[in-house]
Structure 1
Amino acid sequence: MIWSRLSLTGKLFSAVLFPVVLVVVLMVGALTYNMRNGFGQYLLETELHQLERLARGLAEHPEAAEGWPSLREFGAWIATVETYAARTPARPALPDMPPRGRPPGPPRPMRLPDRLALIAPDGKILAGRASGTAFADLPVDLPAGTAATLRLFGREEPSSGPGQLFLSRQLRSILLIAGISVAVASIVAFLTARQFLRPIHEVASHVTRLAKGDLRSRLKPRMNDELGRLMADQNALAESLQASRLRERQWVSDTSHELKTPLAVLQAEIEALQDGVRSATPATLDAMHGAVRRLSGLVDDLRLLASGDEGRLNLDLVRMDLSRVVEEACTSLQRSRLLQGLELQVATDPVVIVSADTRRMRQVLDNLLDNARRYTDAPGRIEVTCRRVGPRAEVIIQDTAPCPDAHGLATLFDRFSRSETSRSRDFGGSGLGLAICRSLLAAQGGTIEAAPSELGGLRLAFHLPLAEDEDD
């Protein structure tokens, strides 16, 4: 189909021009039809008026009573027709209006040799010539009755002369105006299509640059319509892609850095064993085992985050009491004897039912509690609360000093965030704990945010929707 092969410019040009051309064609057709019919009606009325004057003239003719014998000669008949048919009633002169120029003459009389005949009551042709189809009959009445019938025959050929010349000129004018209208519409359609498609071409060119890797390229929206919003969205997409690339590069750099430490430990220990500098003592094996465990844990964390990004986390969502899981996690931390110089306080509502994965929720709580334990100075305090807040469950873990700065709070949930990474090196963390918490909570319909604590340290709060029958 031709339409499918057209470019977008051609389609838009055709869509704008076609309705205009269609309207012009219909208007020209309607005007031509009405003008022809109207002009024909005008000629008919003119001819009938002339016919009436001719009938009155024949009734007043001196030879009317004898049957107009002198009119049997065609030349005399034509002279009589021209004499009476062209006669027009006198117009009254306008007062105080001097004549200006030559007064208009009467309309040109009909040329009736083949279209007008005077027929006796018995059907005999008294004058004129009968040719064609009878168009109109007009009686010639005398005091004694109808003496004859004046018959007008239709034209067999198109009319000619001044009338036809006038009609032809009008039709040429209409066609000229129609042609000019179509030409102007074509120019307007072309300019409209060009102006409308210019931002689309800019967007297409911008997409091509993005596909080639130029993520710094930006569009300059100059409109407030849908195309302007499209260009703004395109810029937002470019910014998102650029930020993703930067995060990807940072991710690769940080991952390489984190993997480098345990790998360096393993390499050094193995080379020392190979060179005979060290022997395979339990201490050496423990150091190597610790490096392997750290490396394995880091790989597991990376795989977990990748699964969360791709939406491939295997979750076993069940109805569970979040308060009970919080209490179990806190009890486990207290029994581990890792709270050196720290006080742990727990306050929970009796029953807080949510739909979540019990194992993953315990992992989230363990990570958050471990984060608070690692980065709270002793002596200090950690407070944990679990309660129902409207249609959601809320868990808050806050601690005493120190508190991260504004930049640290903004990047706290980033992978290998600098503030967390530096502390992780001191305390043995992978730097992915809080990022994992956010990913696991998001997969279960939850959210988490960080803020300064009233106790002087960090306040971490996450929310989960209550189970459906617990919303009431």
Structure 2
Amino acid sequence: MKISQKLFLAFIGLTSIVLVATLSLARWSFDQGFSNYIHSLEENRLTHLSKSLTTLYSQSDFNWNNVTSEQYERLLSFFIPDIAKIAKTDRKGPPPRAGFREGRIKPPPSASGDTRAGIAPHLRNPERRGPPRRNGPPTAIYTPDGVLLAGETFDSLEEKISIPVTHDGDVIAILYSNPRVEVDSQSAQAFFEQQLWTSLWIGLLCLMLASLISWVLARLLLLPVKEVIKSISHLSKGNYSERFNEKRLDELGQLMNDIDLLAMTLDKNRTAKNRWFADISHELRTPLSILCGEIDAIKAEIRPFNQVQLKSLEQEVMRIKHLVDDLYQLSLSDLGGLKYHFEPLNITVCITETLNSLIDKVSEKGLSINFINSEKVIVNGDKMRLQQLFTNVVLNAVAYTDSPGHIDIDLIEESASLLILVNDTKPSVPLDDCEVLFDPLHRQDSSRARRNNGAGLGLTISRNIVEAHSGSITARPSNLGGLCIEIILPIFKESH
């Protein structure tokens, strides 16, 4: 299954869940609102009825015994028209006849043998006329003590709507009503079915609309993803020139920028690799060509085989050996294969020993070295690798400095680091080219490109050594007219 189909199905599934939950909550809210509306109307009716009962109580000399059953029934027959139209009670069959039926209340026995002593005395007369029929919810009037005065008989007064009837702040009776609604009339049932079908059609329409929107969104959201997949496919095939034209500010835009940067890096590395192979081939071909030419000349007896020719052959062999050794050292340093033994050492002594071993080569070139520093500066490093570092830097300066000239080495101790400056005299290097001096086999198309031996790997190996010592090495034009190599190493701090 394609990702577009999965994304579409995810949108549809999420929309369906939200839609079902929304319609269910809407249905529940409708039922609750309808029930609350019925209860509100019933409370309004009971409030009006309580006022009429208070008036009737006052007119009956403040005694419920003076109220006839007909008066009660006429009051209880009062209802709000909306209640009669909407509320249909849970009673089955025709509405009950108004008044009190025998057997509705089971009164306690009295001393006179009257079994209706628990009912108000004025209601004990069985001869009464039927008052108007009541269509509203079942309603009853009780005294504060729980004696039924008129109305329906409830098995339990809990969960009933109750309104107190008061007179001068005293509760003289309590009205109870049971407006529980059962939708069993045809009109109400038709209304509820209509609402249900309307909700279903609305849900179906919303689902179709959500499906259309989900399909469009899935296609729009996958467009940049497809572009990313296409770009990665180009990278896997070695085509590093493709770039994204669309500029985005979201996470996909950041991914596109990273892929563009990766393509540029891969292209740069491939170019550097090709250039490196070409340079290595050139460096190896030159001494090999000389060797082959001299050997052919000796074999053809054009040149005699003597010590002079043997020394010339040895020089070319040593040149090849030097190049192979540099390549081996570079590969080890790039792979982290150079072994380091770190220990606190005096960098001043390390530099002095290195310069003493190179004094003959410096003198042969007609140069001089100035290094005057008697202060003791301790760094944590590998003595052999640091001497290799200083050897490469000094020999690079010797190879590229015109005679007569000089090389200055200065140590500047800062708070937590040591700055080593190696300055030489002209010729110099343009500032823009200083950043690439540490690339393997780099050559400058200037007067500093002239050198007698080496393959241009010394500074690259030096950079790896400095980085292994948690330092940095950079190059810039020197104030002396040549090149300045800046080396920064951390100073060793003894823990107390």
What SS does structure 2 have at the residue aligned with 1:464? strand
Aligned residue type for 1:447: S
Q: CA deviation at 1:289?
A: 1.8
> Which string of whole-angstrom CA distances, capped at 9 and with x for unpartnered residues, describes residues 183-216 of structure 1?
3333333333332332222112101111111100
Shift of 1:284: 2.3
Task: Name the SS of the counterpart of 1:338 in structure 2.
Answer: helix
Q: Which structure 2 residues correspond to residues 292-331 of structure 1 after superposition, within 5 A?
A: 292-331=317-356
Report SS of the residue matched to 1:469. Answer: coil
Q: Could you report, residue by residue, the CA deviation over 1:218-241 in whole angstroms, capped at 9, with x for unpaired residues?
A: 012422122212111111111111
1:242-293 deviations in Å (ceiling 9; x for gaps):
1111111111111110010111122223333444444532222222222111
Q: Tell me which moved more, 303-312 or 215-224.
A: 303-312
State the distance in 1 between where 2:277 and 2:323 align: 14
Deviates more, 1:401-410 or 1:10-19: 10-19
Which stretch has the larger CA shift, 276-285 or 109-118?
A: 109-118
Most deviating of 352-361 and 269-278: 269-278
Task: Return closer, same or farther for 1:221/1:464 CA change in 2, 3 Å cut-off.
Answer: farther
Change (3 A) 1:425 1:137: closer
Tell me how far apart the structure 2 counterparts of residues 444 and 45 of structure 1 sit (CA, whole Å).
85
Q: Note if contact 2:362-2:398 (Cα within 8 Å) is conserved in structure 1.
A: no
- What percentage of aligned pairs have identical amino acids? 29
**1: CA distance between counterparts of 2:304 and 2:422?**
46
Q: Tell me the TM-score normalized by structure 2.
A: 0.70
Give the Cα–Cα distance (whole angstroms) in 2 for the partners of residues 148 and 331 of structure 1. Answer: 125
8 Å contact from structure 2 (residues 140, 150) kept in 1? no
Distance 1:46 1:355, change over 3 A: closer
Structure 1 residues 198, 468: closer, same or farther in 2, change over 3 A? farther
2:211 to 186, 189, 199: 186
Stretch of structure 1 that moved more, 414-423 or 281-290: 414-423
Partner of 1:233: 258
Contact 1:318 1:356 in 2 (8 A): yes
Letter in 2 for 1:31: A
Query: Residue 416 and residue 149 in structure 1: after superposition, are their counterparts in 2 closer, same or farther (change >3 A)?
Result: closer
What are the residue-to-residue correspondences of 1:313-462 with 2, within 5 Å?
313-336=338-361, 338-406=363-431, 408-419=433-444, 426-462=451-487
Larger mean Cα displacement after TM superposition, 172-181 or 152-161: 152-161
1:195-214 equivalent positions in 2, closer than 5 A: 195-214=220-239
Deviation of 1:410 after TM superposition, in Å, equals 3.9
Q: Is the Cα contact below 8 Å between 1:116 and 1:150 reproduced in 2?
A: no
Paired with 2:276 and 2:468, the residues of 1 have a C-alpha distance of 21
Gaps of at least 5 residues in structure 2 are 50-67, 69-75, 105-136, 142-147, 155-176
Contact 2:389 2:462 (C-alpha < 8 Å) held by counterparts: yes
Verify the 8 A CA contact 1:412 1:420 in the aligned structure 2.
no
SS of alignment partner, residue 237 of structure 1:
helix
Pick from 15, 25, 29 the counterpart of residue 30 of structure 1.
25
Instruction: Give secondary structure in 1 for the equivalent of 2:444.
Output: helix
Give a deviation string over 1:159-194, Cα, whole Å, max 9, x none.
Answer: 242211112112222222223333333333333333
Question: Could you report, residue by residue, the CA deviation over 1:63-103 in whole angstroms, capped at 9, with x for unpaired residues?
Answer: xx9xxxxxxxxxxxxxxxxxxx999889xxxxxxxxxxxxx
**By how many angstroms is 1:148 displaced?**
9.4
Given that residues 215 and 238 in structure 1 are in contact (C-alpha distance below 8 angstroms), is that contact kept between their aligned partners in structure 2? yes
1:14, CA displacement in angstroms? Answer: 5.0
Q: Which runs of 5+ in 1 are unaligned?
A: 1-5, 54-64, 66-84, 91-103, 124-134, 140-144
Change (3 A) 1:89 1:340: closer
- Pick from 187, 194, 206 the counterpart of residue 169 of structure 1: 194
2:423 maps to amino acid: Q
Residues 1:193 and 1:390: Cα distance change in structure 2 (over 3 Å): farther
Instruction: Give, in angstroms, the shift of residue 15 of structure 1.
Output: 5.0
| In structure 2, distance between residues paired with 1:292 and 1:280 | 16
SS at match of 2:189: helix
Cross-structure match for 2:245: 220
| Residues 147 and 29 (structure 1), Cα distance of their counterparts in 2 relative to 1, 3 Å cut | closer
* Paired AA for residue 404 in structure 1: V
Who is 1:114 aligned against?
Answer: 93
Question: How many residue pairs were aligned?
Answer: 416
The answer to whether the 8 Å contact 2:138/2:151 transfers is no
In 1, are the aligned partners of 2:231 and 2:242 still within 8 Å (CA)? yes
Query: Within 2, Cα distance between the matches of 1:297 and 1:421?
Result: 24
Distance 1:373 1:266 in 2: 27
Q: Aligned-pair distance for 1:36?
A: 3.9
Residue 456 of structure 1 aligns with an amino acid whose one-letter code is G
| Paired position in structure 1 for 2:308 | 283
Helix, strand or coil: the match of 2:371?
Answer: strand
TM-score normalised by structure 1 residue count: 0.74
Distance in structure 1 (CA, Å) of the matches to 2:280 and 2:447: 14
1:454 CA drift (Å): 1.5
Distance change >3 Å, CA 243–CA 420, structure 1 → 2: same
Q: Is the CA contact (8 Å cut-off) linking 2:322 and 2:454 kept in structure 1?
A: no
Partner Cα separation in structure 2 for residue 149 and residue 157 of structure 1 = 18
The equivalent residue for 2:295 is 270
For residues 223 and 11 of structure 1, the distance between their equivalents in structure 2, rounded to whole angstroms, comes to 24
Task: Give the 3 Å change call, closer, same or farther, for CA 373–224 of structure 1 in structure 2.
Answer: same
Q: Aligned to 1:300, what secondary structure does the other structure show? A: helix
Distance 1:34 1:440, change over 3 A: closer
